[in-house]
Amino acid sequence: MSAIKDIIASRRSVYPDQFIDKEISKELLSDLLSSATYAPSHKKTNPWRFIVLTGDVKTKFAHFLADTYQKVTPADKFSAFKHQKVAQKPLQSGAVIAICMQRDLKERVPEWEEVAATAMAVQNVWLRLEELELGGYWSSPSLKDYFREFYRLEEGQKCLGFFYLGYLKDPVSVKKEPLHLGGYVHFVTE
C-alpha cells in the first residue's frame, strides 16, 4: 500500500477511451463509494448523493444524453461529433456515477459548503481508483442540468456532473508522475 502522499500525487483524470469493455460489479462500486461517506461536512449534513448507473441503464443514459443534446442544441450550434461523443462516454465506461448534492432544506449552511463537501467525497473515491485498478474522471457538461429528466431528484437536490469510470486498457500508460504544483502556497513571514 502506497503512502497517502504518493496516492494523492499520482491521482489522474483517466478518460473513457482508455477503458476496456468491462462492467464494474455492484459489490466493487459499493466498496468504492463507501469511502465517500467519510468526507467531512459542516453540521454533518452529508450532502453527497451518488446515483449509480450500470448495465442496461447505462445504455439508456447514453441515449438520453444524445437525445437531450439534440433537443437543447440550436441547429446552427449542433455538432454531429459531439452528439456521438456524449453517448460514447457512458457506453465506454464500466459504470457511471451521477454526482449529486442535497441542499440542506433548512439551509443551515451555505450552499457552497455542501458543494465543497460533495467534492471532498468525490476526491475520496478518486483516490481509491488506483488501488482497485480503475480509472475515471469528473465530467461536468451543461447536460448535467437535465439529469433530473432521467432520474427523479428529490427537493433540494442538484446534479454536479458525472463520474465516468472503468477498467484500464493499459494501466502502465496512465501518467503517474506528480504534476507541477498549481495554485500557490504562501508562507506569511511578516
Q: Which residues lie near ligand FMN (CB under 6 A)? A: 12-13, 137-141, 161, 179
Q: Which residues contact 71 (CB under 8 A, 6 or more apart)?
A: none
Q: How far is the CB of 6 from ligand FMN (least distance, A)?
A: 14
Q: Which residue is nearest to ligand FMN (CB)?
A: 13
DSSP 148: G
Q: How far is the CB of 177 from ligand FMN (least distance, A)?
A: 11
Whether the CB-CB separation of 13 and 137 falls below 8 Å is answered with: yes
Nearest Cα residue to 171 out of 123, 130, 127, 126 = 130
Residues 133/135/138/141 CA torsion (nearest 10 deg): -140
Q: How far is the CB of 26 from ligand FMN (least distance, A)?
A: 25
Nearest Cα residue to 161 out of 109, 121, 132, 106 = 121
* C-beta closer to ligand FMN: residue 94 or 161: 161
Gap between the Cα atoms of 100 and 122, Å rounded: 10
Q: How far is the CB of 178 from ligand FMN (least distance, A)?
A: 10
* C-beta closer to ligand FMN: residue 105 or 179: 179
* C-beta closer to ligand FMN: residue 152 or 183: 183
Q: How far is the CB of 138 from ligand FMN (least distance, A)?
A: 4
Q: Which residues contact 32 (CB under 8 A, 6 or more apart)?
A: 125, 128, 129, 132, 134
* C-beta closer to ligand FMN: residue 17 or 30: 17
* C-beta closer to ligand FMN: residue 4 or 188: 4
